[in-house]
Each structure stands twice: as structure tokens, then as C-alpha cells.
Amino acid sequence: MLQIIMLSFMFVFTLSVLLLRFMFRNRLLLNKRLKEVTTSQLQTKKNEEDYLNKSFFERIIQPIVSFVALVFSRFMPSESRQKLQQTLQQAGNPGNLRPHEYQSFHLLFTIISFILVWVLTTVAKKSISEQLTLMLLVIVGAILLNKVYLNNRIRKRKTGLLKELPDAMDLLTVSVEAGLSFDAALLHVVDKSKGALAEEFRTTLKELQMGKSRREALRALGERTNVDDLLTFVGSMIQADQLGVPISRILRIQAEQVRTKRRQRVEEKAMKAPVKMLIPLVFFIFPSIFIVLLGPAAIQIYQTLLTKF
């Protein structure tokens, strides 16, 4: 019975994909012809070479994900899309995927894992209850794996931003005090720095060049990073822009505060180190020392008692 249900599910899923592709065939064909008309032969040859140089994911997986995402985007609520977009930005936008593309990739991964487990359990001749249990575990595991992956990316990225922030703040402060404007100083920091923070500053500069106000661009920077120190910096710069306070003084104060917080975090980690070292000392190092020191004496005592008795 379960096999019939699974085969029916696979048939319906495959038929749905084929029908959707047939429905969008005219649009895809029209886009392809327009691209062929507007693209020269040299550019077409270059595109073919670039296509062959792409990875398997970019050539095979990403087009499938894009097609499913085109359909999935029609049913994804705007609120969920905005929330996922913010999460992806905080995670560094893995794979340069848009929210509906990332969600489609996750859905395809879950379905493929589900079908793979069903095939393996069927070949292994597992019972229906075991098959259902394993399939349920696969679905739950895929959901949890997605959350763990994003949270891990966000945590690592925030750690990198906090590590890069003090040096970037010092360079920004020195540049402004040397006579550069805030935008020029930000560009100088981008040219001299590397990493996630430099990329975020580069995005902020692009938004300023596209016509966004400094207040909106800085507020978007805080939303993309969601780091407390950067949020404090953004709030101070927005307030200074509103009140007309000299930026150099605000930057100097913010740079000192960022370095103080980094020193406090290092001191906090140093204070936690002895507590973290206690468990390996008690369970691994001390027993080894006792074996090395007391082992020979215990052997001699055992041999002495054995000869006497």
C-alpha cells in the first residue's frame, strides 16, 4: 500500500513539473529568441565557453532550482519572503540565491532525500512502520538542518564582522580627520580592507550612488548585519546627521567604544578558559598522569604480594 502511495506521489510530482514547464514553454521560448536576436555571435560564443567553465551546480542544479522558484514565488507570501531575505542577508547571501530560490532548493533537497530514503528502505525490505518513521525523520532532519546551517552562517559572519570592525573604525576615523568626507572615507576603507565588513560598506556606497540618503543606507546596513556594535554605530551616525554634530568626534568615540568592547570580550573569554579546561583535566589528563606515576609502583606492589602469598 505504501509503495503504491509513493509511486502515485512521484507520478503526480513529475507530471506537475512537466505541466508547469509546458505552461511556461512559450515564455521561455520567447525569452530565448529575444536573447538570440539581441546577442551577437561573439557574445554567444563567449557565453558558451563560460557555460562550459561553470560548475555542475551552476549548469544543472541552479536552472532546475530557478524553474521551481519561478513557480514557487507565486505562492510564497511577501511577509515570509521579506523575513527570509533578511535572514539570508545576515548569513552572507549563500549561493547568491533569492528567497524563493533558496526555499525551492530546500524543498527539492527534502523531496530528493525523502525519495532516496524510501527507495533504500524498500530495497532493504523494511516494514511500513520503519519506512514511515525514517521518512518522518528525514523531513524533520531537513528542516532542522536548514535552520542549523543558516544560524551557523549568521554566527560566523557576525564573529567576522566584530573582528574586522575596530580596525575599520580606526581607519574611517583617521580618514575623516584627515579631511575626507564620510563617503570618501568609506570608499577608502573599502579599498584598503577585505572581508564581510568591506563588502557591506561597498553595498552601502552603491546604495548611496543609486540615490539613497545616507540615513536610509546606514539603516539598511544595520538591518543586513544585525550586529550590536554596528547598530550602535549606525544609530550614532544617523543622530549626528540629524543634529549636525561633527562626524569626526562621533567616529572617535565609537572607535574607542568598539575597542573597549573587544578588550572586554577577550577578557571574558580568558576568564572562562579555566572552567572549560576543568573537564578535560579531570577526565583525560589527570587519569593519564596517575597511570604514569602510580602504574610502576602498583605493579611492584602486586609482584611483592604475589611472591609472599
Q: Are residue 67 and residue 6 in the same domain, yes or no?
A: yes
Q: What is the mean pLDDT of residues 227-248?
A: 87
Q: Which of 41-55, 152-166, 277-291 has the lowest mean pLDDT?
A: 41-55
Overall number of domains in the chain:
2
State the CATH number of the domain containing residue 244. 1.20.81
pLDDT-derived band at 155, boundaries 50, 70, 90: very high
**What is the pLDDT of the chain when averaged over all its residues?**
80
Q: Give the SS3 label for residue 125.
A: coil
Closest to 89 in 3D by CA, of 198, 228, 196, 162: 196
Looking at the predicted structure, is the pLDDT value of residue 163 above 70? yes
pLDDT at 100 (0 to 100): 77
**Residue 274 counted as domain residue:** no
pLDDT at 283 (0 to 100): 85
| CA angle centred on 180, ends 176 and 182, rounded to 5° | 65
Q: What is the CA radius of gyration of the chain?
A: 29
Q: Are residue 24 and residue 143 in the same domain, yes or no?
A: yes
Compare 281 and 70 and report the one with higher pLDDT.
281
Q: Which of 151, 175, 209 corresponds to the end of one domain?
A: 151
Looking at the predicted structure, is the pLDDT value of residue 291 above 80? yes
Compare 62 and 179 and report the one with higher pLDDT.
179
pLDDT at 30 (0 to 100): 57
Q: Cβ(105)–Cβ(97) under 8 Å?
A: yes
**Residue 290 counted as domain residue:** no
Q: Are residue 51 and residue 132 in the same domain, yes or no?
A: yes
Q: Are residue 208 and residue 129 in the same domain, yes or no?
A: no
Closest to 24 in 3D by CA, of 82, 79, 66, 61: 66
Q: Are residue 136 and residue 231 in the same domain, yes or no?
A: no
pLDDT at 19 (0 to 100): 58
Q: Cβ(164)–Cβ(193) under 8 Å?
A: yes
Helix and strand tally (H, E) in the chain?
Answer: 14, 0
Q: What is the mean pLDDT of residues 186-205?
A: 90
Q: What is the mean pLDDT of residues 131-156?
A: 88
Give, in order, the Cα–Cα distances in Å from 230 to each of 59, 254, 255. Answer: 38, 10, 11
Looking at the predicted structure, is the pLDDT value of residue 57 above 80? no
Closest to 66 in 3D by CA, of 16, 23, 32, 28: 28
As given in the structure block, the three cell numbers for residue 159 are 564573529
Q: Which of 107, 127, 151 corresponds to the end of one domain?
A: 151
Q: What is the mean pLDDT of residues 234-256?
A: 87
What range defines the domain where residue 213 resides?
A: 158-263
Q: Cβ(250)–Cβ(182) under 8 Å?
A: no
**Residue 308 counted as domain residue:** no
Residue 68's identity, in one-letter code, is V
2-23 vs 25-38: helix crossing angle, rounded to 10:
40
Looking at the predicted structure, is the pLDDT value of residue 45 above 60? no
Q: Are residue 13 and residue 67 in the same domain, yes or no?
A: yes
pLDDT-derived band at 172, boundaries 50, 70, 90: very high
**Residue 206 counted as domain residue:** yes
Give, in order, the Cα–Cα distances in Å from 215 to each of 94, 118, 206. Answer: 27, 53, 14
pLDDT at 152 (0 to 100): 93
As given in the structure block, the three cell numbers for residue 206 are 552603491
**Residue 278 counted as domain residue:** no
As given in the structure block, the three cell numbers for residue 120 are 533504500
% of the chain at pLDDT higher than 70: 75
**Residue 277 counted as domain residue:** no
Considering the entire predicted model, what is its pTM?
0.68
Residues 92-136: pLDDT tens digits? 888 777 887 788 778 888 888 888 888 888 888 888 888 888 888
Compare 10 and 212 and report the one with higher pLDDT.
212
Q: Are residue 54 and residue 137 in the same domain, yes or no?
A: yes
Q: Are residue 166 and residue 234 in the same domain, yes or no?
A: yes
Looking at the predicted structure, is the pLDDT value of residue 17 above 60? no
Q: Are residue 135 and residue 187 in the same domain, yes or no?
A: no
pLDDT at 42 (0 to 100): 46
**Polymer length of the chain:** 309
Looking at the predicted structure, is the pLDDT value of residue 278 above 90? no
Q: Are residue 128 and residue 171 in the same domain, yes or no?
A: no
Q: Are residue 146 and residue 171 in the same domain, yes or no?
A: no
**Residue 300 counted as domain residue:** no
Q: Are residue 96 and residue 170 in the same domain, yes or no?
A: no
**Residue 131 counted as domain residue:** yes
